[in-house]
Amino acid sequence: MSVVPKLVHTFSETPSSEAVAPNDLDAYWLPFTANRQFKRAPRLLQAAEGMYYRTTDGRRLLDGSAGLWAVNAGHCRRQIVEAVQRQVAELDYATAFQMSHPKTFLLASRLRELLPGDMDHVFFTNSGSESVDTALKIALAYHQARGDTERTILVGRQRGYHGVNFGGLSVGGIAANQRQFPNLLTAVDHLPDTHLPDRNAFSRGQPEHGAERADALLEIIGRHGAERIAAVIVEPVAGSTGVLVPPIGYLERLRAHCDDHGILLIFDEVICGFGRLGAAFAADRFGIQPDLMTIAKGLTNATVPMGAVGVRKPIHDALMTGPESIIELFHGYTYSGHPLACAAALATLDLYRDEEIFEGAAAKAPLFEEAAHTLDSLEHVVDVRNLGFMVGVELQSREGAPGERAREVFMRCYEAGVLVRYTQDTIAVSPPLIISGAEIELLFATLRSAIEATD
Ligand X SMILES: Cc1ncc(COP(=O)(O)O)c(C=O)c1O
Return the residue of 155, 229, 296, 419 that touches ligand X, per CB under 6 A.
Answer: 296
Return the residue of 110, 143, 162, 255 that touches ligand X, per CB under 6 A.
Answer: 162
Give me the least distance between CB of 296 and ligand X, in Å please. 5
Give me the least distance between CB of 140 and ligand X, in Å please. 18
What is the rounded distance in angstroms from the CA atom of residue 42 to the CA atom of residue 27? 14
78 torsion bin: left (phi>0), alpha (psi -120 to 50), beta (else): alpha
Shorter beta-carbon distance to ligand X: residue 105 or 181: 181
Only segment of 125-133, 148-156, 322-330, 394-402 that touches ligand X (CB under 6 A): 125-133
Give me the least distance between CB of 26 and ligand X, in Å please. 25
Only segment of 156-164, 200-208, 326-334, 377-385 that touches ligand X (CB under 6 A): 156-164
Report if residue 417 touches ligand X, rule: CB under 6 A: no
Shorter beta-carbon distance to ligand X: residue 32 or 330: 32
Report if residue 240 touches ligand X, rule: CB under 6 A: yes
Only segment of 124-132, 252-260, 347-355, 446-454 that touches ligand X (CB under 6 A): 124-132
Give me the least distance between CB of 239 and ligand X, in Å please. 5
Give me the least distance between CB of 318 and ligand X, in Å please. 25
Report if residue 235 touches ligand X, rule: CB under 6 A: yes
Residue pair 264/315 in contact (Cβ under 8 Å)? The answer is yes
Q: Check the CA dihedral 18-24-29-34 and report its sign.
A: positive
Report if residue 50 touches ligand X, rule: CB under 6 A: no
Only segment of 109-117, 127-135, 363-371, 388-396 that touches ligand X (CB under 6 A): 127-135
Report if residue 129 touches ligand X, rule: CB under 6 A: yes
Q: Which residue is nearest to ligand X (CB)?
A: 128
Residue pair 406/425 in contact (Cβ under 8 Å)? The answer is yes
Shorter beta-carbon distance to ligand X: residue 297 or 373: 297
CB count in 10 Å sphere of residue 353: 13
Residue pair 451/438 in contact (Cβ under 8 Å)? The answer is no
Report if residue 72 touches ligand X, rule: CB under 6 A: no
Report if residue 124 touches ligand X, rule: CB under 6 A: no
Report if residue 163 touches ligand X, rule: CB under 6 A: yes
Mask for 80-119, x = binds ligand X (CB under 6 A): ----------------------------------------
> Nearest 5 degrees, angle CA 129-CA 424-CA 49?
60
Give me the least distance between CB of 185 and ligand X, in Å please. 16
For residue 445, CA distances in Å to 6, 39, 68 come to: 10, 29, 21
Report if residue 299 touches ligand X, rule: CB under 6 A: no
Report if residue 388 touches ligand X, rule: CB under 6 A: no
Contacts of 327 (CB under 8 A, 6+ apart): none
Contacting positions for ligand X (CB under 6 A):
127-129, 132, 161-163, 235, 239-240, 268, 270-271, 296
